[in-house]
């Protein structure tokens, strides 16, 4: 049984108490469309377990699974060759709003430069 936090929005999305536009699920990963997309394609790939942020990870196995899922979804959605961006916001300065680890898969159109 995965550890969940009852007051966490993303845990409620994983348990499907709160609806989302799911695109992928397996034993450890859940992926769904962002409610407020910043590009034509904007998906959130999250661990089913309630892990808060990158710096809390004891190993990086789940991170590999998240990135692999994002990469596979990009292929499925045919944005892999045109390109996409993966983003993990960690903490206040990065503007992390939801305290449940998540990777943004953003693409489907030309993205603004980070520079």
Catalytic machinery residues: 102
Q: Under rule CB under 5 A, which residues in 76-95 are in contact with Zn ion?
A: none
Does 34 help bind ligand 5GP (rule: CB under 6 A)? yes
Does 100 help bind Zn ion (rule: CB under 5 A)? yes
Residues 46/96, Cβ–Cβ less than 8 Å: no
* Nearest distance, CB of residue 56 and Zn ion, angstroms: 12
* Nearest distance, CB of residue 19 and ligand 5GP, angstroms: 9
Q: Under rule CB under 6 A, which residues in 69-108 are in contact with ligand 5GP?
A: 89, 95-98
String of contacts with Zn ion for each residue 2-31, x by CB under 5 A? ---x--x-xx--------------------
Q: How far is CA 28 from CA 65, 81, 83, 85, 114, in A?
A: 8, 27, 26, 22, 31
Identify which of 101, 90, 111 has the alpha carbon closest to the alpha carbon of residue 66: 101
The count of other CB atoms within 10 Å of the CB of residue 43 is 25
- 79 φ, ψ (degrees, to nearest 5): -115, 5
In this complex, which beta carbon is closest to ligand 5GP, that of residue 74 or of residue 101? 101
Identify which of 51, 56, 40, 25 has the alpha carbon closest to the alpha carbon of residue 108: 40
Binding residues (CB under 6 A) for ligand 5GP: these are 9, 20, 32-36, 44, 89, 95-98
């Amino acid at each position: 049984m995965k550890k969940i936090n009852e007051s966490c929005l993303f845990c409620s999305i994983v348990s499907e108490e709160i609806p989302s536009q799911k695109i992928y699920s397996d034993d450890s990963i859940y992926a769904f469309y962002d409610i407020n997309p910043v590009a034509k394609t904007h998906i959130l790939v999250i661990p089913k377990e309630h892990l808060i942020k990158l710096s809390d990870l004891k190993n990086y196995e789940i991170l590999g699974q998240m990135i692999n899922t994002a990469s596979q979804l990009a292929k499925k959605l045919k944005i892999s060759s045109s390109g996409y961006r993966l983003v993990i916001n960690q903490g206040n300065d990065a503007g992390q709003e939801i305290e449940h680890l998540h990777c943004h898969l953003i693409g489907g159109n030309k993205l603004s430069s980070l520079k």
